[in-house]
Structure 1
Amino acid sequence: MFSRLASVSLALFALSGCAIHQTVKPVERLDSKTVCIVQNGNVRATFLDAFERALSNKGYEVKRLEADASLIACPVTSTYTASWRWDLAMYMSYADIVVYKNGKPSGKATYDATRGGGNMGKFIGAEKKITELVDQLFPITAGSGS
């Protein structure tokens, strides 16, 4: 009985380290229908493409800015970072998107599967995850007003 309880406890402890965390603080209503994205050359171009598509699908016009652009270059500016890992297959292990309104932080979405271990949920397609983050980060469609 004791060894069974110890085995179950050990298994639960091991699985607790296989966590995927996602936090989103949505942006408040935006007056602008344009979102400027500061390009990050250290991240796969497919991330920016998916990010732009997700915003466009919500009615936003996207303008790409050079990596050294100021956060006040546009009324609404966004930065991003992401990384990939290999574990049986390549997967996006981390993504962080920050939205600034007039240069001040207005919203943030973070996806962290770096401690995903045996959690098979980490193999979600990057574009699907990026779209999910954008949908939560921008809950209001551009021009809806509320």
Structure 2
Amino acid sequence: MISRLSCISVALLALSGCAIHQNIKPVEHVDSKVVCIIDNPAVRATFIDAYQHALSNKGYEVKKLAAGASLVECPVTSTYTATWRWDLAMYMAYADIVVYKNAKPAGKATYDATRGGGNMGKFIAAEKKITELVDQLFPNLAGS
């Protein structure tokens, strides 16, 4: 009985190390229909393309700002970062999107599969995950 309980405990402990975490703090209200995104050249270009597309689908006009631009250049500004890893295939292991209103943090979406280990859920299409993050980060359509 004790050895069986030990095996179950070890299995649960091993599986807990294969966790994927996602945390969203939605932007409560956006007065502007324009969202400026500060470019991050360290991240694959497909990320900002998917991010712009997801915002456009929600009715926002997207203005891309150069890397290093100030948060005060637009009333609503966003930064992002993401990393990819290899484990049988390339996958987006981490993504972080922060939204600022008048240069103050207003919302944040984080996806973290860096401890995904054997969890096959980490092999998601990055564009689909980015769209999901944006839909939760901006729960309302532009102007709502």
TM-score exceeds 0.5: yes
Give the deviation of 1:5 after TM superposition. Answer: 1.9
Residue 5 of structure 1 corresponds to 5
Deviation at 1:7, TM superposition (A): 1.4
| 2:71 paired residue number | 71
Q: Using the alignment, how far apart are the partners of 1:94 and 1:107 within structure 2?
A: 17
* Residue of structure 1 in register with 2:110 after alignment: 110
Stretches of structure 1 lacking an aligned partner (at least 5 in a row)? none
* Identity across the alignment (%): 78
Post-superposition offset of 1:8? 1.4
How many residue pairs were aligned? 144
Hey, what does 1:38 align to over in structure 2? 38
Instruction: After TM superposition, list the pairs within 5 Å mapping 1:17-56 onto structure 2.
Output: 17-56=17-56
**What is the TM-score when the length of structure 1 is the normalising length?**
0.97
**How far has the Cα of 1:26 moved from its partner?**
0.4
Q: Distance in 2 between matches of 1:64 and 1:112?
A: 25
1:58 is aligned to 58
Residue 81 in 1 paired to residue 77 in 2? no
SS at match of 1:64: strand
2:137: which partner in 1? Answer: 137
Aligned-partner Cα distance in 1 for 2:109–2:125: 17
Q: CA-atom RMSD, angstroms? A: 0.7
* Distance (Å, rounded) in 2 between the aligned partners of 1:79 and 1:141: 20
Amino acid at match of 2:109: A
